[in-house]
């Protein structure tokens, strides 16, 4: 072999090295910490420009290329970077987390070891009321007095179930069976390794406001404390083109066009034809998912919602 390959040095990120192993606290007793990583922004660029050497790139060009790749969903260069996290998460939250199939996972075994002696506690001001408009969501909080009642009952339940668990263990019951009545909010721990492309997909789904609060807190920490330090150019592009970007359907585009042109007739007739403006017996607009999602986008852009204004003329 007489081919002259360039010499290669390991790509490291001093900002991430500085926090290797540091536990970022999440919820009352959870954490996320970086155990190891592979690659950085430059590795993404290098993979995309496989025929060029690293020395030919400039930060500005790297930024432009990364933004282009992310904007156009050229995903494989982002798979060149990987990260391994050690996480401690309540089991109900972990149940949502583990649905992301593109990671490699090793979880703490409560068949093999004694269950971690900590369960997620909720303070009296944090009990959420069921949302009426979103069956999967919450809307507002219980008052302090009701919250205190829930928190007291929670503490009793946690103490009782842990006591029963420990009694079963002391009497020699198999750990795999003794654990069956532990609460779902008992913390578990895992090593979780994932590539950057799939991590961004996880963050996109779990940092959004419609994700459950608890997993959102973990996703926020991974994004803002870890990914931002690790691959700052990718993080910036992700916020811009993915997490905070808005997508408009053809229906929404037609409505936006009518709104921009001030064509109220077209705007209302077309919304009616889509079944968005049906009213109940009190003359109130009936709930409509697609309309509600469009309203959310208008709100984010600080644009008035046409059917909430009085002048429909
Ligand atoms: C707000 C919210 C509410 C949810 N509610 C529910 C619910 O009520 N019930 C429920 O069961 N789940 C629910 N989920 C989970 C959701 O349906 C997904 O399972 C989860 O978000 C993982 O997404 P994913 O499959 O895209 O991710 P990953 O598993 O990480 O996969 C990433 C991507 O890889 C590809 N991929 C991975 N595996 C396969 C495969 N076997 N075949 C083809 N392509 C594959 C897909 O393109 C996929 O998008 C909810 C998720 C969110 C964010």
Residue-by-residue pLDDT tens, the chain, 313 positions: 567 777 878 889 999 999 999 999 999 999 999 999 999 999 999 898 875 555 555 666 899 999 999 999 999 999 999 999 999 999 999 999 999 999 999 999 888 888 888 999 999 999 998 887 777 778 889 999 999 999 999 999 999 999 999 999 999 999 999 999 999 999 999 999 999 999 999 999 999 988 999 999 999 999 999 999 999 999 999 999 999 999 999 999 999 999 999 999 999 999 999 999 999 999 889 989 899 999 999 999 999 898 887 655 4
CB 11 within 8 A of CB 40: yes
Task: Find out whether the beta carbon of 282 lies less than 6 Å from any atom of ligand 1.
Answer: no
Measuring from atom 41 of ligand 1, which residue has the nearest CA?
Answer: 101
Burial (CB count <10 Å: 0-12, 13-18, 19+), residue 281: exposed
Nearest to 227 by CA among 39, 58, 93: 39
Given this model, what pLDDT does residue 76 score? 94
Is residue 198 within 6 Å of ligand 1 at its C-beta? yes
H or E element that contains 229: helix 228-230
- What is the rounded (10 degree) CA torsion for 36, 39, 41, 46? 180
Verify whether ligand 1 is closer than 6 Å to residue 205 (CB atom): yes
**Of the options 2.60.40.10, 1.10.10.10, 3.40.630.10, 3.30.1360.170, the CATH number for the domain spanning 14-115+187-243:** 3.30.1360.170
- Separation of alpha carbons 287 and 133, rounded Å: 8
Residues belonging to the chain? 313
Does the beta carbon of 247 lie inside 6 Å of ligand 1?
Answer: no
Closest CA relative to residue 179, chosen from 113, 238, 110, 235? 110
Q: What's the gap in Å between 206 CA and the centre of ligand 1?
A: 11
Pocket perturbation via mutation, ligand 1, pick of 100, 137, 194, 222 by most ligand atoms within 8 A of CB: 100
Q: How far is the C-alpha of 138 from the C-alpha of 61, rounded, in Å?
A: 44
Q: Whose Cα sits closest to atom 19 in ligand 1?
A: 99
The answer to whether the CB of 216 is under 6 A from ligand 1 is no
pTM as predicted = 0.91
Nearest to 238 by CA among 208, 258, 261: 208
For 279, the enclosing helix (H) or strand (E) is none
Q: What is the DSSP letter of 7?
A: P
Give me the pLDDT at residue 53, please. 52
> Which region, left, alpha or beta, applies to residue 172 given φ > 0 means left and ψ of -120 to 50 means alpha?
left
Q: Which residues does the annotation mark as catalytic?
A: 206
């Amino acid at each position: 072999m007489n081919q002259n390959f360039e010499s290669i040095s390991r790509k490291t990120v001093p900002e991430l090295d500085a926090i290797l192993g540091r536990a970022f606290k999440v919820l009352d007793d959870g954490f996320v910490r970086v155990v190891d990583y592979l690659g950085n922004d430059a590795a993404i660029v290098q993979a995309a420009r496989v025929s060029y050497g690293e020395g030919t790139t400039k930060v500005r060009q790297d930024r432009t290329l990364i933004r282009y790749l992310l904007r156009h969903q050229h995903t494989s260069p982002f798979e060149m970077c990987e990260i391994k996290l050690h996480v401690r998460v309540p089991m109900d939250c972990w149940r949502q987390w583990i649905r992301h199939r593109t990671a490699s996972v090793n979880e703490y075994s409560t068949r093999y070891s004694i269950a971690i002696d900590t369960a997620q506690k909720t303070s009296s001001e944090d009990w959420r009321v069921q949302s009426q408009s979103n069956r999967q969501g919450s809307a507002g909080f219980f008052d302090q007095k009701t919250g205190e009642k829930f928190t007291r009952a929670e503490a009793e339940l946690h103490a009782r179930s842990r006591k029963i668990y420990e009694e079963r263990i002391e009497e020699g019951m198999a750990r795999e069976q003794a654990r069956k009545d532990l609460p779902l909010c008992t913390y578990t721990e895992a090593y979780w390794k994932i590539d950057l492309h799939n991590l961004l997909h996880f963050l996109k789904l779990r940092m959004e406001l419609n994700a459950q609060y608890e997993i959102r807190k973990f996703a926020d920490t991974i994004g803002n404390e870890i990914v931002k330090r690790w691959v700052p150019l990718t993080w910036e592009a992700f916020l811009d083109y993915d997490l905070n970007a808005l997508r408009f359907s053809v229906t929404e585009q037609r409505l936006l066009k009518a709104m921009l042109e001030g064509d109220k007739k077209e705007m209302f007739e077309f919304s009616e034809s889509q079944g968005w403006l049906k009213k109940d017996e009190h003359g109130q607009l009936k709930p409509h998912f697609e309309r509600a999602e469009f309203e959310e986008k208008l709100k984010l852009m600080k644009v008035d919602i046409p059917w909430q204004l009085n002048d429909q003329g």
